[in-house]
Amino acid sequence: MLRLRVRIERVDGKASVEVVGVANSGFVGLEPEVLVPTRIANELRLSELGEPEVHTKVAGDGRELELLRYRGAVRVYVVTEDRVEGPVVSDVLVAPRARYILLNDKLLSKLRIVLLDFGEGIWCFRDELGKKERRSV
């Protein structure tokens, strides 16, 4: 599993969190999306940005999940020991029962993440391909 240290900040800059997010290429979308548990949405005070819309996603087991979506609500950065990549403006999906923060395929692509080894969690930024390998946090 690839875990990345990410900073998620509201687009207005009034709140931010630094957390570990899971890169999940199976979490697909048309736009960059980050899925967060309710407690992270509360820390970011997303409700101050207006009413979310209800959004339906299909889980890996085929179940339909109703989530709250805040469109274009945050900027997401990947934070490493030697650089910060981003920001990427992203939608936020709030999943009350989520245990992990998930980064979807479009967000990972915009953050220029290349996964080199799934099992070992080895990755790099696109401009480091063949030059540097990084490890999951």
In the structure encoding, which two tokens stand for residue 115, read together?
A: 């996964």
pLDDT on residue 28 = 86
Whole-number mean pLDDT of the chain?
Answer: 94
Average pLDDT over residues 95-105: 93
Mapping DSSP onto H, E and C, the string for the chain reads: CCEEEEEEEECCCCCEEEEEEEECCCCCCCCCEEEECHHHHHHCCHHHHCCCEEEEEECCCCCEEEEEEEEEEEEEEEECCCCEEEEEEEEEEECCCCCCEEECHHHHHHCCEEEEECCCCEEEEHHHCCCCCEECC
List, for residues 26-83, the tens digit of each pLDDT value: 788 899 999 999 999 999 999 999 999 999 888 777 888 889 999 999 999 999 999 9
pLDDT on residue 63 = 84
What is the extent of the structural domain holding 66? 3-129
List, for residues 18-31, the tens digit of each pLDDT value: 999 999 877 888 99
Global pTM reads 0.94
Name the domain count of the chain.
1
Residue 137 domain flag: no
- CATH number of the domain bearing residue 93: 2.40.70.10
Q: Nearest CA to 13 among 48, 38, 39, 52?
A: 48
